[in-house]
């Protein structure tokens, strides 16, 4: 069905919660042009507070770009924003949304 192995890039190294298999996502081109072409599908522009992020997306708090992964993101995952060269750890906010916390 939909099982190609494409998890090499963008995010997600550590498996914090291993109980459930992660959802996988097929990323399409978003027209985001601030990173090299082959990485474009891993980012998209944020449309503002009304923009609902998917379970595979997290907002870069530095440059407000949405970082996307081919699989579901979970707290403890590490992601990299190529637009501002910052590394993050994924955390969950009190509201239950995924957030990116800057790593030092
Ligand atoms: Zn950024």
More confident residue, 33 or 19: 33
Distance 40 CA to ligand 1 centre (A): 13
Tell me, what's the pLDDT at 19? 75
Mean pLDDT, range 73-92, rounded to an integer: 96
41, two tokens: 């599908």
Backbone angles phi, psi at 28, to 5 degrees: -110, 160
Q: What is the pLDDT of residue 79?
A: 97
Residue 30: its pLDDT value, please? 93
How remote is the CA of residue 19 from the centroid of ligand 1, in Å?
30
Residues with CB under 5 A from ligand 1 (ion): 60, 62-63, 65, 81, 83-84
Model pTM score: 0.79
């Amino acid at each position: 069905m939909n099982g190609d192995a494409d998890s090499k890039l963008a995010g997600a190294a550590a498996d914090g919660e291993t109980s459930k298999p992660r959802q996988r996502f097929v990323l399409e081109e978003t027209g985001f042009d601030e990173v090299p072409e082959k990485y474009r599908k891993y980012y998209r522009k944020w449309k503002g507070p009304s923009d609902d992020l998917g379970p595979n997306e997290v907002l870069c708090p530095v440059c407000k770009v949405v970082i996307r992964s081919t699989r579901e993101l979970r707290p403890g995952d590490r992601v990299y924003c190529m637009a501002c060269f910052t590394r993050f750890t994924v955390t969950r906010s009190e509201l239950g949304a995924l957030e990116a916390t800057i790593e030092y």
